[in-house]
Amino acid sequence: MTLVQMQPRPVIANPVHRTVAEVMDAAGPQVCDDMSVEVALSVMAAARTGRLVVCDQDGQCTGLVTQTELAAVRDSSAYTDRVRLRDILGEHGSFTSLVTTMAEAEHAMRSGRLGALPVVDEHGSALGILALSR
């Protein structure tokens, strides 16, 4: 008979009680809400990302825009080069905090039909992104 050394399994937090801080991704590029749609699309292309965190003049997170959303705005008949990110944020002004549980965040994202949500600190500064797995 051979002895087998067993390693204890790490204790995994209950998924219901896990917080957003445990699973969020880095925030990535952050841009000001007065940026034009065309410039934002260029920033996305250069950064090779599909989304940008949008902040106001004071550095407070005001939302998130995706490449798909920006392309749709640019391709619409109402588009002009004067359209700024703040003009199109609409419902995407949603965000969550580090202490929000994953269950709460997932519910909010699914009910709001959001694929990603900025994570902010107590001062409203973006810390990361929470994205739903597809």
Q: What does the pLDDT look like over 30-42, one tens digit per residue?
A: 999 999 999 999 9
Q: Residue 101: CB partners within 8 Å, gap ≥ 6?
A: 16, 17, 18, 19, 20
CATH of domain 20-131: 3.10.580.10
Distance, in Å, from the CA atom of 134 to the CA atom of 119, rounded to the nearest integer, reads: 19
Name the nearest CA neighbour of 70 among 39, 95, 28.
Answer: 39
Name the nearest CA neighbour of 88 among 107, 69, 112.
Answer: 69
pTM of the model: 0.76
Which range has the top average pLDDT, 19-28, 54-63, 85-94, 96-105? Answer: 54-63
Q: For the chain, report the end-to-end CA distance as a whole number of angstroms.
A: 47
Domain boundaries, the chain: 20-131
Q: What does the pLDDT look like over 68-94, one tens digit per residue?
A: 999 999 999 989 999 999 999 865 567
